[in-house]
Amino acid sequence: MLGKHIKLPKLGLVRFAKSREVHGRMINATIRRNPAGKYFVSILVEVDIQPLPKTGSSIGVDVGLKDFATLSDGTVYKNPTFFRALEEKLANAQRVLSRRQAGSANWHKQRVKVAKIHEKITNSRQDILNKISTHLVKNHDLIGMEDLAVKKMLKNVHLAKAISEVSWSQFRTMLEYKAKWYGKQVVLVARNFASSQFCSRCGHKHKAVKDLALREWTCPSCECLHQRDLNASINLRNEALRLTAGTVGIA
């Protein structure tokens, strides 16, 4: 690699837009073209990743459809709406594509337009997931979240579209590999734990909270008022701490 050029076999020096500096021993490079016709080079390097400093902090993360994620410290990440915003534009582009003769020049032009809209949606989704997951790993040593059965949930035709848009599985994957890189820990709490039904103050189980429409409830035992998602995230944090009892420096 020389400045803004990379040397490729048979092609020689090829100019490219460098998105980030490459550090470490380069092993190989893979060239690929996406459906929108853009070429990308992925460079595999060998590098030592240093663990991030310990913060002594733990956090619970409750993901949902109303809000993307609610943290046990009260932070709320709103659901990204970029797909809904581009949905009409995508539908119109796909409608035009369906009227083109497959394989014709106009069909290929329209196919690229559709691919570019999909690319924008994908890039926007990955950007926000990367930002949230990186922030959590940097600032917390222990992250507790529910082990959701996403594949099973996608079979619900009424929720599949919304679940696909928020990409819970991709978010979990990002958290897990970043935590592994930087010496942090992600604890997956069993899906039958019913985190939203327990009072995070006294531990009373209020089965009426099974109703998803119930967003706020008062504990019959200690009369503490709970916001559903916040209470669930606190319970996830507490359960993650219980499961990792003996871990030093986390509170």
Q: Which of 62, 141, 176, 239 is catalytic?
A: 62
Per-position DSSP letters for the chain, written without gaps between them: -BTTEEEETTTEEEE---SS---SEEEEEEEEE-TTS-EEEEEEEE-PPPPPPP---EEEEEE-SSEEEEETTS-EEEPP-HHHHHHHHHHHHHHHHHHSPTTSHHHHHHHHHHHHHHHHHHHHHHHHHHHHHHHHHHH-SEEEEE---HHHHTT-TTTHHHHHHHTHHHHHHHHHHHHHHTT-EEEEEPGGG-TTTB-TTT--B-GGGGSTT--EEE-TTT--EEEHHHHHHHHHHHHHHHHTTT-TT--
| Residue 46 designated active-site | no
Q: Amino acid identity of 202?
A: C
Q: Does the annotation mark 146 as catalytic?
A: yes
Q: Is 141 a catalytic residue?
A: no
Catalytic residue among 141, 146, 165, 176: 146
Closest CA to 197 of 226, 175, 155: 226
Task: Say which of 141, 176, 229, 239 is annotated catalytic.
Answer: 229
CA 173 to chain centre: 7
Catalytic residues: 62, 146, 229
